[in-house]
Amino acid sequence: MTSAAVPLGELEALSATELLKWALATYGRRFAISTSFQAEGMVLIDMASKLDSAVRVFTLDTGRLPAETYEMIDTVRERYGIAVEIVSPETEEVERMTTLHGVNLFYRDPNLRKLCCHIRKVRPFDRKLNELDAWAVGLRREQSEERASAMQAEQVSNKLKLSPLAEWTAQQVQDYIEQNDVPRHPLYLKGYTSIGCGPCTRAAGAGESERAGRWWWEENSSKECGLHVTPDGRMRKALDVLLEDILKH
């Protein structure tokens, strides 16, 4: 069975577990879970490991992750017996970027922040997808305005992107974690509600939105790195110019 044999609308009607079971049966080793070990990603790992202990899991090691995220890699290995596949950016690209714009370029301008995300996350992610036909992520519609229209199943560049928890609420995620004793990222205990790179994430304040701690210094800017939301035309054009300066050397 291929994704073409099943209309996307039918996949939308499946539960999270059913969708993962279908993906594992359909794609086998050409399917993987992409995660940064936040609550939703850990729910997917727990669900999938019960269906197939050999499920593939990969994460993006940007080189700027908090120590607690590296701890989660070992936790997943110990709890589930899964050897997490580590995906890293090209060293030469990072060196060129930081030489041209500085190590902490992301604080100066939203365009430079998106450039950093693109070099450290988007480009390595795209390279990893060459190994896959389908992948799953922990997006939920409730997380932000940008994610409100997330589908459980969608075609992205001839690949199938699955968001099995798209319809889930934060409470459903927490209920699953408690009922199944799923490991939790240590930064949640320090007030973090969304976890990314160390310099670009802080704990959320009382009453703030779930993703308020991501790139908190930016005003009126999309709280996305580019993996799930394409920047608008103006930002895309600016990013292309900056990216050309990195790749042409």
The domain limits of the chain are 3-247
Whole-structure pTM value: 0.86
If you average pLDDT over each of 3-7, 40-44, 110-114, which comes out highest? 40-44
List, for residues 167-208, the tens digit of each pLDDT value: 999 999 999 999 999 999 999 999 999 999 999 999 988 888
* Other Cβ atoms within 10 Å of 184 Cβ, number: 17
Q: What is the CATH number of domain 3-247?
A: 3.40.50.620
> Looking up tokens 């993703």, which residue turns up?
211
Mapping DSSP to helix (H, G, I), strand (E, B) and coil, where does residue 44 land? helix
How far is residue 79's CA from residue 82's CA, in Å, rounded to a whole number?
8
How far is residue 38's CA from residue 170's CA, in Å, rounded to a whole number?
12
72 phi and psi angles, rounded to 5 deg: -65, -30
225 is catalytic: yes
Instruction: Report which of 191, 236, 235, 206 is spatially closest to residue 68, judged by C-alpha positions.
Output: 191
List, for residues 143-174, the tens digit of each pLDDT value: 767 777 788 999 998 999 999 999 999 999 99
Please tell me which residue in 116, 117, 197, 225 is annotated as part of the active site: 225
If you average pLDDT over every residue of the chain, what do you get? Answer: 89
Q: Which is it for strands 134-136 and 159-162: parallel, antiparallel or unpaired? A: parallel
Residue 92: burial class (beta carbons within 10 Å; 0-12, 13-18, 19+): exposed
List, for residues 205-248, the tens digit of each pLDDT value: 888 888 788 888 887 655 455 554 444 444 456 778 788 878 87
What is the reported pLDDT for 234?
46
List, for residues 90-101, the tens digit of each pLDDT value: 999 999 999 999
How far is residue 118's CA from residue 239's CA, in Å, rounded to a whole number?
9
